[in-house]
Structure 1
Amino acid sequence: MLAKHRAWATTHAGLVRDRNEDSCQVASWRSSPAEANWRGSLATERLWAAVADGMGGHRRGELASSLVIDCIAEMIDEVSDDTDIHQLIAQANMRLFHAMAAPGGSPAMGSTVVGVVATGQRGWIFNVGDSRAYLLTGDEMQQVSVDHTPKLAAGDRRSHALTQSLGGTLTPIPLKAHVVSFDPRAVEAVLLCSDGLTDMVDDDEIEALVRRSPDDPAQALLGAALDAGGADNVTIVVVHMANHISR
């Protein structure tokens, strides 16, 4: 009998932007302008989810993020180690550069990405850019992604410039995704999000909301981001791992 993970996903334009350039997918469910919220149980040997944030200030960010999710969805079943993830990211990156010159594309369109894939006793988190992943255990929440942004002096506000992205430049540059492995059996929940959440809500409040909103943590987090000003698109995926659901 397959274990059932519980998952929630939501994506929203926010209160300032005129369109949503984020995309996300959880297993077979995919966000779209017409369907931006989802919850369900995942009975599958391979759990996967990803969030892509089309880069602000670049044209066709919504196309860039959608292409990234498309590529992940097509290749995720082939992932069995770190090398496969790096190949997946490289393929998504090249797909963006090819799309720049195709009808409907735009030079330097780009996207961040953060994702998770887990099979039984093995799991991986991967990211490029500043969309984030957190792992929750019984007593802490830990950011396991890396923000690919310039290092700042103490006291400076976080930069939104990216040192790595999928696409985002006129010609390809060397790209190295951040990949970290984890044991799904030791994790209570996985949170993936675009910076529209983390720019508005600090980590302590994010953790508190996930823990005290078991019925729909994604909507609770979205509400907090909007209450704080909703300055950017907001996309959130929360997965409660099967080994902790009944506890």
Structure 2
Amino acid sequence: MKGYEVKLDAFHGPLDLLLHLIRELEIDIYDIPMSVLTEQYMNYIQKMNALEINVASEYLVMASELLRIKSKMLLPEPPLEEFDEDPREELVTQLLDYQNYKMYSEELKQLKEEAEKYLVKAPHEFDEVYVNEELSITLSELMDAYNKVRQRVEVQTSTSFIESESYTHEDAVSFLEDQFKHSSKLSLTDLFSKDVKNHQVVQVFLTLLEFLSLNIFKVENNNNEYIFTKLKEQEEWI
């Protein structure tokens, strides 16, 4: 058979080399012709020696194993009732396992490369929030009031569109400063009486919750109307 040339630096161990030879020589991995495979494998070892490359011990161990299997395959076949297991079976199992590991490794590498295309926000650890024990209104009640305001705002808004600029925390602080400029008390309904956008309502409400936790505002229920009272001047806000 014509000698087969291989790249000496392209393999990661003897199993990797064997799989390469099996694929390039179009050998059935379940019915390996040991004479052919052993010959090509030994050619590889000889090329390494010719180039004065140190042959790793694992390559030599595999060479002796291939020769052992080849020799066993050349022995006369025993009677049917004394037939032993195929001497290639263990080698085939090792090759299939290595082939699967190599395939899974490549898939994991591709998943890793795909995942690196996305930016993931790191987990945020929230500091302990001060809770005013005198506050008689629950967060659930406050959320109910907030949802009513959102529904009213959505009904008043007849046109929906996407804005390129977001409504930031700083925008919400400026909005609250303007609303509380002439009065230290405002109801939740009065606070959003203007034609504000839905995303503005969300950001302002989140800012109000933050200010409540910082004792900058307080809220009380007056006949099912939630009244926010400013406790500090704007310069003392965040």
Q: TM-score normalised by the shorter chain: which range applies? A: under 0.3
Richer in helix (by share)? 2
TM-score by length of 1: 0.21
TM-score by length of 2: 0.22
Structure whose CA Rg is larger:
2
Greater relative CO, 1 or 2 (CA 8 Å, sep 6+): 1
Richer in strand (by share)? 1
